[in-house]
Amino acid sequence: EPEVTQTPSHQVTQMGQEVILRCVPISNHLYFYWYRQILGQKVEFLVSFYNNEISEKSEIFDDQFSVERPDGSNFTLKIRSTKLEDSAMYFCASSDGAVANEKLFFGSGTQLSVL
Amino acid sequence: GDSVTQMEGPVTLSEEAFLTINCTYTATGYPSLFWYVQYPGEGLQLLLKATKADDKGSNKGFEATYRKETTSFHLEKGSVQVSDSAVYFCALRDNAGNMLTFGGGTRLMVKP
C-alpha cells in the first residue's frame, strides 16, 4: 500500500530556532494535512492544504507556523521560532478527496523536542 | 465545537479476551466516525469507519456501530490477539470541513 513519508523521525532544536518538518504525501493525493500530538494529549488538527493554499487551519496554527509545497512531491511545515510548548509528535497526512468520508493516510510522525 | 471522548487506558487484556473501547462524541449535524490504530513506530492507520447512523464499520475482527441516539461509536472485538497491541483513536469528521477531531487515544496491551 502507498504510504506517507516523514523526515526526520526525531528532531531536537533549541528554543527560538527555526525548524522545517518534511513530508512526502502519496503521489496522486491532492489534500494535505498536519496534525500534532503533545505527549499525553489528543491528536490536534493544525492545517489543511489544497490547490497550493491553506483551506482550513486551527487556532494553534498562528503566525509562527507556515506550510509550503515547494515542488510536486514535498509538503513542509515550518515553525519560525520554536517554543518549549511546540514539543510534540507532528503527523503529516494526505487524501485524494475532501469529502467527509475520505480516507486519510498518515505518516509515522516527526518527534520534535524543543530544549 | 466538535469533540470526542474515549476511555483512558491503558487497557490490559489476555489473549482471546473480549475488547470494548468506549467512544462518545459531540457534534452538530451528521459527522462521519472513524477508528484509527497506531502500532508502535508507525503512523495512524484507518481501522474502520461509519458515515451514517446505524452503520456498522468492521475490519480485522473489529467492529463499531454508529449510534446517533447515544452519540457513541464503541470499538469491539470478540477475541484479541497480542498483535492487536496498539493505541486506538476514535475520531469524527463533519461534513462541513475536512479536518478530523480525535479522542485522546486508548492504549491496548494484550498479554499472551
User: Mean pLDDT over residues A60-71, rounded?
Assistant: 94
Please determine, for residue A1, whether its predicted confidence score (pLDDT) is greater than 90: no
pLDDT in tens, B39-50: 987 888 999 999
Interface test with A, best of B6, B98, B102, B107 (most A CBs within 10 A): B98
Q: Which residues, at least 6 apart from A3, have a Cβ–Cβ distance to it below 8 Å?
A: A26, A105, A107, B43
Residues of A in contact with B104 (CB under 8 A): 41-42
Per the CB < 8 A criterion, the answer to whether A67 and A75 are in contact is: yes
Confidence class for position B94, pLDDT limits 50, 70, 90: confident
Shortest distance between the Cα of B17 and any Cα of chain A, in A, equals 26
Mean pLDDT of chain A: 92
Query: Can you give the pLDDT at residue B29?
Result: 81
Summarised one tens digit per residue, pLDDT across range B1-37 is 889 999 888 999 999 999 999 999 999 888 999 999 9
Is B36 exposed, middle or buried, given 0-12, 13-18 or 19+ CB atoms closer than 10 A?
A: buried
pLDDT at residue number A82: 96
Q: b/e per residue, B42-66, with b = 16+ CB within 10 A?
A: ebbbbbbbbbeeeeebeeeebbbbb
All 3 cell numbers of residue A17? Answer: 530556532
Q: Are the beta carbons of A107 and B32 separated by less than 8 Å?
A: no
pLDDT band at B56 (very low <50, low <70, confident <90, very high): very high
Q: Write out chain A residues lying below 8 Å of B97, CB-based.
A: 56
CA closest to B105 among chain A residues: A42
Facing B93 at nearest CB: one of A42, A100, A107:
A100
